[in-house]
Amino acid sequence: MARSASPRESRRTTAAEKAGPFSEQDVRRILLEHRYLLKADELCTKWQVSRATLRSWKKSARFEYLCGDLRELVIAALASGGSATLPQLAAWADYQDHSPYSEAEIRAVVDGLVTEGIAAWDGKTGARYAPSTARKAAKFIF
């Protein structure tokens, strides 16, 4: 005989159910924007979500431990500051995740971002945030 769910169990929702129209990857991207670029009110306005939804996402994603990978850190640095040199990007990424990066590692990431249409070279050692039209339409920074 099948056991019916108790009222308490039927009220529980998963993080995916709480996300609504956003996928789990979308929620992670939104939380990274909150971590590195936008205040809560700005983020809620941009994505049309309530503060309660944002708090719920932060709790289920363990926001206090959420950290971007090197690619996401470089995007955040460029999006927040406009343009930066490779040493500045390496220092900012090191400050965020306490892991030293070489200029060669940063250059490889920036080369990939240029190919993706997210960044552009600004001289020989400088890079700037320059999302393509298609990237701007997607609304996601990462």
Apex 102 CA angle, 98 and 107, nearest 5: 120
CATH classification at residue 87: 1.10.10.10
What type of residue sits at position 48? Q
* Residue 37 · residue 141 · CB < 8 Å: yes
User: At residue 16, does pLDDT exceed 80?
Assistant: no
Is the model more confident about 115 or about 134?
115
More confident residue, 135 or 55: 55
> Are the beta carbons of 114 and 120 closer than 8 angstroms?
yes
pLDDT for the residue 52: 96
Q: Residue 120: CB partners within 8 Å, gap ≥ 6? A: 114, 127, 128, 130
SS3 61: coil
**How many structural domains does the chain have?**
2
- Residue 60, exposed/middle/buried by CB under 10 A (0-12, 13-18, 19+)? middle
What residue has token string 């609504």?
Answer: 20
In a domain, 10, yes or no: no
Instruction: Give the residue numbers spanning the domain of 47.
Output: 20-65
Same domain as 88, residue 29: no
Domain match, 74 and 60 both: no
pLDDT band at 8 (very low <50, low <70, confident <90, very high): low
The mean pLDDT value for 2-28 works out to 66
138 pLDDT band, cuts 50/70/90, is confident
Is the residue at 122 inside a domain? yes
Q: How confident is the model at residue 1 (pLDDT cuts 50, 70, 90)?
A: low
pLDDT digits (tens, 9 = 90+) for 24-70: 999 999 999 999 999 999 999 999 999 999 999 999 999 999 999 99
Residue type, position 51, single letter: R
The predicted model scores a pTM of: 0.80
pLDDT tens by residue, 106-133: 999 999 999 999 999 988 889 999 888 7
Residue where one domain finishes, among candidates 40, 65, 90? 65
Q: Are residues 61 and 83 in the same domain?
A: no
Percent helix, strand and coil across the chain, each to the nearest 5: 60, 5, 30
Q: CA of 127: how far to CAs of 63, 77, 87, in Å?
A: 29, 10, 11
